Chains A and B, each alone.
Chain A
Amino acid sequence: MSESPKKKPYFKALLLGALSAASYALLFTHVNQVMEYFVKGGWYAALPILTALYFSFVHGSFASTLLSIAGLQAAKGSGH
């Protein structure tokens, strides 16, 4: 694995965590407008898809970083 167990990516986790939390906060504070446009169908269908993708990148990287800080790594010998 590329992650070294000695150097834990605290700064990266903090940055991604903040970005993820801010994105969630932004969306849920404007939930009424969001729900109005996201269910219109047609070209508006791109909105929920792109939003889900965006959150999976930001929040997914945050989750990954947090798991490696917690010491949860794949078994050695697996992968490349």
Chain B
Amino acid sequence: MKKWLVILLAALFILTVFAPAALAESAPPDNFKIGSFTQVNAPSHTATFVPSDTGVATEVTLDESLKPEDIKLDDKVMVSFSNNNGTEVVSEITAMFLGLTRDKLIALLVVGLVGGLLSGFIGSGGAFVLTPAMMSLGAPGAVAVASNMCHKFPKAMVGAYKRFRYGQVDIKLGLVIAGSSIVGVQVGFQIQKWILDTWGSAGSDLYVSFVFVIILVVVGGIVFKDAMGSKDAAEAKTPKLALRLQKIKLPPMIHFKKADVVISAWVTLPVGFATGLLAATIAVGGFVGVPGMVYVVGATAMVASATELLVAFVMGMWGSAQWALAGLVDIRLVLIILAASLFGVQLGALGTTYVKDHTIKLVMGTVMLIVAVSRGVKVPVYMDHLGIISIDKSLAGVLDTISFWALIAALLVAGGIITAAMIKGIVRARVDEREVTAAGNA
């Protein structure tokens, strides 16, 4: 069963290396700019656009599909350009930063809290809820990914520090995975940027959703099946694949003390690369990182999820720098989510000290599968935006609703399992303590 994970990782490498080259032939090279419109000339279908980086006002031509009256002056927007019969025209205008209402604020705080709880508990998890959540609140895909990543690394830092104090982090494993993942982040970032330049926001949304669904279904399925199979096991067993890979004595061999594993660097580095690749494109590197560390390297879910927080910090910071250089981070969203997630992540981290390996796998597998449904149903909607297929407006509405409620369900189920396991653990610990005290007094 675990060999599927290796096949998946291999497929991802191939996709990464060859996809941009193969797809480049199908569309002309386009670009996007961030800035604001200062003036619109409806009769000539032109507008004055001021890019944020240069500040020099330029006259741009609007595509026929855009209505000049819909353009809001002075609002920060992301503009995609395309080539129309030799002239460069504005093909798409997306509001860069969503307007914050009270409801959106509350939604971000709640999602931040539960997302943080998940991250602290399973090493990643805020992202796969937060990126779609920001997108469904109206942020463009790229801004959602950028803001999520910029919120993730300081949160991961706090979580990693906590779990280090609980003795769960393998620093060497974390640094090796993080180092190789930085290469993956670079590659992933180029892909995301290229997709945004070529197909605009809708293409970027479709790509993010598509990769999301495949990873979530395959890896989530493996983790869930394993969690169900190891329900009654008192100790975590090292997966067969990891045991076999540990027998490959191809130098350099690395000894990871906390994870209690000696394994070839040739096995560890690809896990890191895939983690980084996914982190940069869809901001959920942990979905390959944690299962990779468990099933490929052979660490326990406890050590893997704790170590992933260190990985997320190192490469999240690197990745955030890239996204910030492109000017895509919405600091308001970052700070609002941090306000709640910094509580969540520390709560999740201390929660792990009360549970067994099985619970961590159960939460991870369950959430990944439910979120896969949430993203999967949105794929036809994005394909419709791109004109690949055509679907009814009412059907699109229904799909949106299903997507939204699946996300809420994932949050509730994950939050529920973690809270229940934590309360059970805390109560058990207190009873044990009382018994010890009573025995000591007797």
Residues of A within 8 A of B (CB): 24, 27-28, 31, 34-35, 38-42, 44-49, 51-53, 55-56, 59-60, 63-64, 66-67, 72-76, 78-80
Report B340-389 residues with CB < 8 Å from chain A CB: 342-343, 346-347, 349-350, 353-354
Taking a contact as CB atoms under 8 Å apart, the answer to whether A49 and B150 are in contact is yes
Complex CA distance for A74 and B429, rounded to whole angstroms: 10
For the complex, is B335 an interface residue (Cβ under 8 Å from A)? Answer: yes
Binary interface encoding of chain B residues 73-109 relative to chain A, with 1 for a CB under 8 A from any of its CBs, else 0: 0001000000000000000000011000000000000
For the complex, is B67 an interface residue (Cβ under 8 Å from A)? Answer: no
Residues of B within 8 A of A (CB): 34, 52-53, 76, 96-97, 150-151, 153-155, 157-158, 162, 165-167, 317, 320-321, 324-332, 334-335, 338-339, 342-343, 346-347, 349-350, 353-354, 425-426, 429, 433
Residues from chain B with Cβ under 8 Å of A59 in the complex: 338-339, 342
Known contacts: A55-B154, A60-B158, A75-B429. The answer to whether A41 contacts B325 by CB under 8 A is: yes
Q: Interface residues of A: mostly helix, strand, loop or mixed? A: helix
Q: A51-B334, A52-B154, A56-B155 are in contact. List 5 more A-B contacts (CB 8 A).
A: A24-B335, A39-B34, A59-B339, A63-B342, A67-B343
Determine how close the nearest CB of chain B comes to the CB of A39; give it in whole angstroms. Answer: 4
Determine how close the nearest CB of chain A comes to the CB of B157; give it in whole angstroms. Answer: 6
Taking a contact as CB atoms under 8 Å apart, the answer to whether A48 and B350 are in contact is no
Taking a contact as CB atoms under 8 Å apart, the answer to whether A49 and B425 are in contact is no
Residues from chain B with Cβ under 8 Å of A41 in the complex: 52-53, 324-327
Taking a contact as CB atoms under 8 Å apart, the answer to whether A34 and B331 are in contact is yes
Residues from chain B with Cβ under 8 Å of A45 in the complex: 321, 324-325, 327
Taking a contact as CB atoms under 8 Å apart, the answer to whether A27 and B166 are in contact is no
Determine how close the nearest CB of chain B comes to the CB of A21; give it in whole angstroms. Answer: 10
Checking B317, B324, B334, B350 against A72 with a beta-carbon cut-off of 8 angstroms, the contacting residue is B350
Taking a contact as CB atoms under 8 Å apart, the answer to whether A52 and B153 are in contact is yes
Known contacts: A41-B327, A67-B343. The answer to whether A79 contacts B153 by CB under 8 A is: no
Residues from chain B with Cβ under 8 Å of A46 in the complex: 324
Checking B154, B325, B347 against A53 with a beta-carbon cut-off of 8 angstroms, the contacting residue is B154
Taking a contact as CB atoms under 8 Å apart, the answer to whether A48 and B150 are in contact is yes
Taking a contact as CB atoms under 8 Å apart, the answer to whether B34 and A49 are in contact is no
Taking a contact as CB atoms under 8 Å apart, the answer to whether A60 and B342 are in contact is yes
Complex CA distance for A44 and B53, rounded to whole angstroms: 10
